[in-house]
Structure 1
């Protein structure tokens, strides 16, 4: 029997939800590309939709803080397609 602490179980659930969400996004992205929608249009629309929903739920200040964190991650190369995971 697996005995997980509450925090570990919560982390596993969040990780699984992120994986499923990524699969949904990848499928929608592929469908858009197949329909002839440029990657830049898909990306801008996805970001705009996400930001609108996050501002609605959490407010502008929290979203600005999130964007600051995302900018740092971008500057550190986290989103480069050729980055290596160590």
Structure 2
């Protein structure tokens, strides 16, 4: 017998966002791997990815929210959020 856990609408929304994020990260990983296989240096790929991300954030949310996102990156980097050694549970 399968036991299902009831989720609130907010929890379901959060799960959907997390699933979309995971898929987007997988697409990004694939693009990164393909680019490095084509001989593009990681620094160039990173620069292009950040330019695209910031440009699309400005387009979607405006300059103020893009600036807030960029400003939040410093504390997230210092907290180790992007470290390859970080273990997610």
TM-score (norm 2): 0.87
**Structure 1 gaps, min length 5:** none
Residue 59 of structure 1 is matched in structure 2 by 62
TM-score, normalised on structure 1?
A: 0.90
Partner of 2:73: 70
- Structure 2 residues not aligned, in runs of 5+: none
Aligned length: 86
User: Is 1:37 aligned to 2:63, yes or no?
Assistant: no
Shift, 1:84, TM fit: 4.7
* CA-based RMSD: 1.6
Structure 1 runs of 4+ with >6 Å offset: none
